[in-house]
Amino acid sequence: MCCFITVLLFIGPRAAIIVWYLLEPMRFNAAINSFLMGCLGFIFLPWTTLGWLVAFNAVTGVSGFGWVIVGLGLLADIATYSGGGYGNRNRIRR
């Protein structure tokens, strides 16, 4: 069950980014200016990229409470990458 949750944490936001791009490509292209930044966000910081897409406004960009959403996405990325080490800390023999 733990492996299933881990797979969802790694695959879920990336699948959401792909679906968002297929449904609203114009908003996606307005929010993420370059292919490189979109690709790096997709690979390394998918929760932050989703937060950016949710908080982005075409007129003002990301402002106000949108930065809180982006920050929560960054915290989710950090938790996703560090959660496996914390959960498996007792498996290492000393």
Q: What is the pLDDT of residues 16-71, one digit of tens each?
A: 899 989 999 998 889 998 889 989 999 999 999 999 999 998 888 888 899 999 99
- Pull the structure tokens for residue 39: 């690709």
Tally the domains of the chain.
1
Start-to-end CA distance of the chain, whole Å, equals 27
Q: Is the pLDDT of residue 89 over 70?
A: no
Residue-level pLDDT at 85: 60
Helices then strands (H, E): number in the chain? 5, 0
Rounded to the nearest 5°, which phi and psi values hold at 57? -120, 135
Which of 22, 19, 78 has the alpha carbon at shortest distance from 47? 78
- Pull the structure tokens for residue 15: 């699948």
Task: State the residue range of the domain holding 77.
Answer: 2-91
